Structures are given as structure tokens and as C-alpha cells.
């Protein structure tokens, strides 16, 4: 397997990036603990310097963490122990609970 074929989750991280992944995983674990004891997540590429981990707690609360690269995000998800999904559709999307604040923001109503 060449370097180009190595999945992000199995990529060897620098010591600095491993610490970043551990720090992000700590936040993800804390979120899961506060929101029902478990969580699901999706790793989403945002741009050259950011990858988002969208997280949904067992109680439907949602949040995110941003990592500097896909490899760091994948490692953080692995370390956190959350269930990883390939996309934010279907079953995972249905778990998200939104409130009045989110609906107003989505409608463009800024209070």
C-alpha cells in the first residue's frame, strides 16, 4: 500500500498531531457523557486547513469539533469511541433535536 492509499485513520501522525487528536477526543468524550453517555459522529472535510467532526449525543443534542486535518479528525473519532457514520443523512439526521433558536436561525430570523 502506498502513502496515497493509506486511509486517514491509519495514517501515522506527528507527535503534535497525536496530541491534537487526543485533546479533541477528550472534548468529544465529554460531550457524549453530558448527552446520554454515547454519541455518533461524521467527519466532514471543510477545507485545506479544517475538518469538522459533527457530533450527535444520545439525547439528540448536537455540536462539533474542528480538527486541522482529516487524519487528526479520524484519529480523534477513533480515540473518542463514538460511532462513526459516513454521512449525516437518514438515521443520524433523524436523531438531531432542534429547538426554536435553530428554526429561527434557519429561517433567517435573527433576534
pLDDT digits (tens, 9 = 90+) for 5-15: 334 545 789 99
Query: Is this structure's pTM higher than 0.95?
Result: no
Dist CA 38 CA 29 (whole Å): 8
Please, are residues 54 and 46 in contact by the beta-carbon 8 Å criterion? no
Position 1 pLDDT exceeds 60: no
23 lies in some domain: yes
- For residue 46 the three cell numbers come to 471543510
Position 109 pLDDT exceeds 70: no
The predicted structure's pLDDT at residue 7:
46
1 lies in some domain: no
Question: Which has the minimum average pLDDT: 24-28, 38-42, 61-65, 96-100?
Answer: 96-100
The predicted structure's pLDDT at residue 108:
66
36 lies in some domain: yes
Give the range of the structural domain holding residue 87, as residue numbers without chain letter. Answer: 12-106
3 lies in some domain: no
- Per cent of the chain over pLDDT 90 is 64
Please count the structural domains in the chain.
1
Amino acid at each position: 500500500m502506498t502513502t496515497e492509499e493509506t486511509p486517514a485513520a491509519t495514517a501515522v501522525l506527528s507527535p503534535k498531531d497525536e496530541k491534537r487528536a487526543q485533546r479533541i477526543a477528550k472534548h468529544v468524550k465529554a460531550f457524549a457523557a453530558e448527552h446520554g453517555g454515547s454519541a455518533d459522529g461524521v467527519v466532514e472535510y471543510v477545507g485545506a486547513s479544517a475538518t469538522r467532526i459533527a457530533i450527535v449525543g444520545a439525547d439528540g443534542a448536537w455540536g462539533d469539533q474542528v480538527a486541522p486535518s482529516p487524519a487528526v479528525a479520524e484519529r480523534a473519532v477513533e480515540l473518542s469511541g463514538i460511532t462513526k457514520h459516513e454521512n449525516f443523512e437518514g438515521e443520524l439526521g433523524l436523531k438531531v433535536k432542534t429547538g426554536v433558536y435553530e428554526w429561527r436561525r434557519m429561517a433567517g430570523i435573527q433576534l
